[in-house]
Amino acid sequence: MAVMIKTVNLTKRYGTLVALSNLNLEINEGDCFGFIGPNGAGKSTTIKILATLLQPTWGEARVCDYVVGYQSRQIRPLIGYVPDYFGAYEDMVVQEYLEFFAAAYGINGLARTKIVNDVLELTDLSYKKDSPVDGLSRGMKQRLSIGRVLVHDPKVLLLDEPAGNLDPRARIEMRELLKELQRREKTILISSHILPELADLCNKVGIIEQGELIYSGPVADIVKRAKTGTVLHVGVAENQDLAAALLSQDPNVANVNANNGYMEVALKDGVNDFSFVPQRLLSAGYRLTLLKEEEVNLETAFMRLTKGMVQ
């Protein structure tokens, strides 16, 4: 499988500020790679370097095996970069906007008309083709911004917070558009703070903090790595404090904490069979209202890894 994006010890400094520190990243053809990290972690810096808009201080970045800085002219036709803000040219109507960018890539005549119409249909903006760009909602502008980078059919998409500040409906529409692009075998690097949506979209993720990559790999692996033991959510109809005290006495239980109307029951390392929990409560006369194992998801994994809770 071809490697579409690769960085080797990629570093970016601004004076004494280190924005990126020895970043080693590899993204294969067809991957949808989620780039996760707090504000200022280095996500946008990485994406701008890959988009040939920034030069690294040292290290190397390759896109489609071309080196950023030395072969940027060859890279640009192969990528589509969507920043976290909408660009200029808002005095155009939607169709003119897309035709302008198609012309910039040397697409003319009937080919341009067909491509623009195809992109309008893909982004579900056909009915807005004669509408002024500055009158669009933020969600529509974001879809148009993605449409803009699709007119030249790039192999790699670099998306910086494409769902940022969108309402729930617009986020769902954006997610469906990105899934369609995956089906069309685009290689996608996407940064986002909306972790459940990244888990739904991405087959791989990278977690970056203070310019350093602390994890990179499949979503399932990071979730497994962050699972530190079995935690149960347990609810009883009454006398929760007494029920918590009862469970705390069991030799298989590490600790019990109250949490918004239910108990978080952490089992000791190696204890996976939790059938004793309902048995003990029912035998003591408690009415059980909730019993489920806590699910470790991408958001939980991110919080644990960035707090240094997982080695």
Is residue 308 situated within a structural domain?
no
Is residue 166 situated within a structural domain?
yes
Is residue 279 situated within a structural domain?
yes
The residue behind tokens 């670099």 is 158
pLDDT of res. 307: 63
pLDDT of res. 88: 66
242 and 120 in a single domain? The answer is: no
Tally of domains within the chain? 2
pLDDT of res. 311: 42
239 and 116 in a single domain? The answer is: no
pLDDT of res. 209: 87
Distance between CA atoms of residues 47 and 191, nearest Å: 9
170 and 262 in a single domain? The answer is: no
Pairing mode, strands 204-209 and 32-36:
parallel
**Residue 150 · residue 102 · CB < 8 Å:** no
56 and 143 in a single domain? The answer is: yes
- Please report the sign of the dihedral spanned by the C-alpha atoms of residue 217, residue 222, residue 224, residue 228: positive
Is residue 68 situated within a structural domain?
yes
Could you tell me the two tokens for 244? Answer: 């918590």
98 and 247 in a single domain? The answer is: no
Distance between CA atoms of residues 128 and 143, nearest Å: 12
Is residue 306 situated within a structural domain?
no
177 and 214 in a single domain? The answer is: yes
215 and 235 in a single domain? The answer is: no
Task: Report, as ranges of residue numbers, the positions in the chain whose pLDDT lies below 70.
Answer: 88, 226-227, 304, 307-311
Distance between CA atoms of residues 191 and 139, nearest Å: 17
Is residue 301 situated within a structural domain?
no
**DSSP, residue by residue, 195-230:** HHHHHHH-SEEEEEETTEEEEEEEHHHHHHHH--S-
144 and 41 in a single domain? The answer is: yes
Tell me the residue type at 235: G
158 and 60 in a single domain? The answer is: yes
The set of residues, in sequence order, having a beta carbon less than 8 Å from that of 116 and lying 6+ positions away, is 95, 98, 99, 102, 151
Across the chain, where does the E strand assignment appear?
3-14, 17-28, 32-36, 58-63, 66-67, 79-82, 156-160, 187-191, 204-209, 212-218, 231-236, 253-259, 262-267, 288-293
144 and 250 in a single domain? The answer is: no
pLDDT of res. 294: 81
Q: Which domain holds residue 60?
A: 3-219
The set of residues, in sequence order, having a beta carbon less than 8 Å from that of 6 and lying 6+ positions away, is 25, 26, 27, 61, 62
CATH code of 184's domain: 3.40.50.300
CATH code of 238's domain: 3.30.70.100
Is residue 303 situated within a structural domain?
no
